Structure 1
Amino acid sequence: MPRRLHGRKRRASRWGGCLPWAAGFGALLLIFLIWQFPSFKAQAELGSAYAARVGCSCRYVQGRSLDSCQTDFEPGMELVSLSDDPATKTVTGSVPLLASRSARYAGANGCLINPAP
């Protein structure tokens, strides 16, 4: 041992041994997200299709504005956004980076969800 370190206590590392625990937790979180991705994607597809259908009915059957239609959403649908195409009478519901579905106004039949691509 070098003479200058002899008799001194070694200073604790800045991370204090929690870095391996944090890395392990991060790895477990990543594995969980990969494992659950199909479920998240399916929920996003369902939510965007529901939002498109409700938004289309609200907009073209009831004649309300798209902003007022978003107040009709169920709790937990805050990530779903609506967009409107007046030329084709289509409303699109989308969840960023996961899903997007459209519904079009079909006259007396109301609003129909467009088939998934």
Structure 2
Amino acid sequence: MGSNSHSGRSVAGRASFWIIGLALVGIAIAVWSNRTAIGGYADVGTSYAARVACSCRFVAGRTLEDCRKDKLAGMELVSLSDDPEGKSVTASFPLVTSNTATLRDGYGCVLEPWEG
């Protein structure tokens, strides 16, 4: 009786392994098939974040750390960096995209040309 319960756990363990493996493969397929949409959303998000953070930093005169507090919910993965000399802010979504906004006299903060 002891060996039956041991082999039962082994079968359950193997079943769990296969279920988790299949779930991971399914997630990978879903991400791969939607990569264009994911990249598009990331591009829009980083463009928005760069433009807003640039205005916050160089028009309103706040610190970048203070401007980070203004990021919208759902933008936790977007990172911000500034170039005080160039008066620009770059927003990046890791391994996907990044966009830069620069302060231009008479225009405010504008996005740099997209080179996609």
Q: Which TM-score band applies after superposition, normalised by the shorter structure?
A: 0.7 to 0.9
2:20 is aligned to: 22
Structure 1: unaligned runs, 5 residues or longer: 1-7
Give me the TM-score of the superposition, normalised by structure 1: 0.83
CA deviations 1:25-47 (Å, max 9, x no partner) are 22222211111221211111111
Write the letter of the residue equivalent to 2:102: R
Decide which of 81, 84, 87 is 2:85's aligned counterpart.
87
Amino acid at match of 1:20: W
Match of 1:108 in 2: 106
Counterpart in the other structure of 1:3: none
Matches within 5 A, 1:69-80: 69-80=67-78
- Aligned pairs, number: 110
TM-score by length of 2: 0.83
Q: Where does structure 2 lack aligned partners over 5 or more consecutive residues?
A: none
Cα RMSD of the aligned pairs, angstroms, is 1.9
Give SS of 1:92's match: strand
Deviates more, 1:98-107 or 1:10-19: 10-19
1:49 aligns to what? 47
How far has the Cα of 1:22 moved from its partner?
3.0
Q: Percent identity at matched positions?
A: 36
Q: Does 1:11 align with 2:7?
A: yes
Higher helix share: 2
CA distance in 1, matches of 2:111, 2:40: 16
